[in-house]
Amino acid sequence: MAKIQNHHITYDPEWVIELNLLQHRAISRVQITKATEQAFADLTNFLHAVAYEWNRMRMELDMEKDLRVIIPNRRKGEKTK
């Protein structure tokens, strides 16, 4: 298994965030994106998705239950049983 490298982003001398590679790539992508209406809308949607998963994880920890919704090979428009 590959070792996850830790990275950090410093916004202020007192605020350093330790990130794994994927988190670092996501933040770096946002940092280099030019501010446009569409980029802002895309970032807002991404933040909503992250917030949803953050809340799900918090509920999983509180309830000690797996709440992930994983539906493999589901096609668009296909109904679940």
- What is the domain partition of the chain in residue ranges? 1-32, 34-72
C-alpha distances out from residue 28 to 2, 47, 64, 73, 77, Å = 22, 15, 34, 31, 34
The DSSP bridge partners found for residue 12 are 15
Distance (Å) of CA 11 to CA 18, 31, 40, 42, 48: 12, 11, 20, 22, 22
pLDDT for 43 equals: 96
42-65 pLDDT, tens digit each: 999 999 999 998 998 898 889 888
Task: For residues 11-40, give the mean pLDDT.
Answer: 84
- What global pTM score does this model have? 0.62
